[in-house]
Amino acid sequence: MENLHYIPDWAKRGIFYHIYPLGFFGAPKHNKDENMTVNRLAELRNYYDHFKKLGINVIQFGPLFESMSHGYDTIDYMKIDHRLGTNELFKDIVNELHDVGLKVIIDGVFNHVSREFDSFKDIQQYRQNSWRQHWHYIDFSKNSPYNDGFDYKTWEGHYKLVKLNLSEKDVKDYIFSVAAYWLKEIGMDGWRLDVAYQINPAFWREFRQMCKNAKPDCFLVGEMIHGPYSKWVGPELLDAGTGYQVYKSTWSAFNSNNMHELKAVLERSFHPQWGLNKNIALLNFLGNHDTTRIRSILHDERYLYPAFIFLFTSNGIPKIYYGDEIGTYGVKTQHSDDDVRKLMPTKVESWPDYGKNIFEHVQKLIKIRNNNHALIYGNLIPVYAENNLLAFLRKSSAQTILVIVNNQLQQAHKNIPLWNQHLDGAKFVELLDQGGSKEFYIHNNHINAEIYPCWGRILLKIN
């Protein structure tokens, strides 16, 4: 990422921690189930020490705005959901997080709103006479399943989610005013933008300009599932996208004992010469609020350790979904996300089995990443794959690091080829194992190394 000068450096160096607030704090599922304002956001203060010990430096909040249920059905963009607290409380939380060295980004769900959103209610009341009918895609010649007397565009057929018409100037102006308010008045540091890949890139071009005028070093990351990412991400567009393709290939490669799959995706995405995303920053993850948790999706729980090694050494910006750092379980089903959006335990005694070991592993990997230039800024060059083993280089202007990731269940001695990398005679030292004193030499373009079960090596070139 050395060449991506349009991205703020704090984001390049970021270790993101993704919180789905309504689940993290155990809020009621539906807005109507709680009449009073409950300041659940204040409970975040119980986790400041946890964040500090872990080593993360960016909090990414999922939906916070007043909504009907899960947060993606917005009622009011200018108000914190009363199940979580108030704008004043959130501003205090942001200031406190800044004081302990953490940046804050929040979810911007600007593609669609709920049926309780003001503009939609105005259309329901005044129909063709509504001055806001152009805020949505309304068809008065048809009827909706709710018998509104008109039909409308939705998000992927979900009639509770009404699509906004972001091509209209006053809709854009309103969304831009919302974005500026949270950046300037509340003091947050950026946006994670929901279903960004479904919104016209021209909108994001204007959105970027407005946000950077409001806060020049803000960070804008778009939810990207389908490519090409370069359509929405770049110097005049969004700063980064979510790395769904790498995410899918990661757990799939581990589960199918097919590291060739992961190597192929890395080459296609990041190879310095021909990679489709070589000039694009990706936010990489092992799970989020929409996916089965990584500990539950892996066929063998021991794969969790090399999976985290891969996350913190691969190209892009790593993100942890809350609870994954302690090995939380959770399965997404066709009908419910509840199991992956559960309450975050406050006490270590409530962590899952081996939670402390997993936490210490992630903590160590974060320290290694933070202390090594190549892992933050370097190119990624895949060099070798077997069914159970993947090797790749991270190269920056300051360092060369060789990463070996292994999901084999037995210890093995490997002779790994590093063809065409011009490393013959180079000396490497281990960063991951205790002490970091073991030395390795490249002979005849090969490295000989003992590979531990479900583990890996992070080797720093020192000559």
Instruction: State the average pLDDT for the chain.
Output: 96
Total residues found in the chain within this entry? 463
pLDDT higher than threshold 60 for residue 173: yes
pLDDT higher than threshold 90 for residue 170: yes
Q: What is the DSSP string of 313-330?
A: HSSSEEEEETTGGGT---
Helix (H) or strand (E) run with residue 113 in it: strand 112-113
- Residue 433's pLDDT is 80
Rg of the chain over all Cα atoms, to the nearest angstrom: 23
pLDDT per residue over 104-115, tens digit each?
Answer: 999 999 999 999
Query: What's the CA gap between 123 and 135, in Å, rounded?
Result: 9
pLDDT per residue over 436-460, tens digit each?
Answer: 558 999 999 999 999 999 999 999 9
Q: Contact at 8 Å (CB) between 54 and 367? A: no
Tell me the fold of 9-110+168-375.
TIM Barrel (3.20.20)
Which CATH superfamily includes the segment(s) 112-165?
A: Oligo-1,6-glucosidase; Domain 2 (3.90.400.10)
Confidence of residue 210 (pLDDT cuts 50, 70, 90): very high
- Per the DSSP assignment, residues forming a β-bridge with 447 are 416, 442
Query: What's the CA gap between 341 and 353, in Å, rounded?
Result: 19
pLDDT per residue over 246-282, tens digit each?
Answer: 999 999 999 999 999 999 999 999 888 888 898 899 9
Helix (H) or strand (E) run with residue 299 in it: none
Q: For strand 446-451 and strand 240-242, is the pairing parallel, antiparallel, or unpaired?
A: unpaired
- Residue 436's pLDDT is 52
Query: What's the CA gap between 310 and 308, in Å, rounded?
Result: 5
For domain 378-461, give its CATH number from 1.10.645.10, 3.20.20.70, 2.60.40.1180, 3.30.230.10: 2.60.40.1180
Please choose, from the candidates 180, 170, 109, 179, the residue with its C-alpha nearest in 3D space to the C-alpha of residue 135: 170
Between the alpha carbon of residue 404 and those of residues 76, 253, 299, 359, the distances in Å are 48, 14, 20, 21
Domain ranges of the chain: 9-110+168-375, 112-165, 378-461
Confidence of residue 434 (pLDDT cuts 50, 70, 90): low
Average pLDDT score over residue span 18-36: 97
Q: Contact at 8 Å (CB) between 283 and 16? A: yes
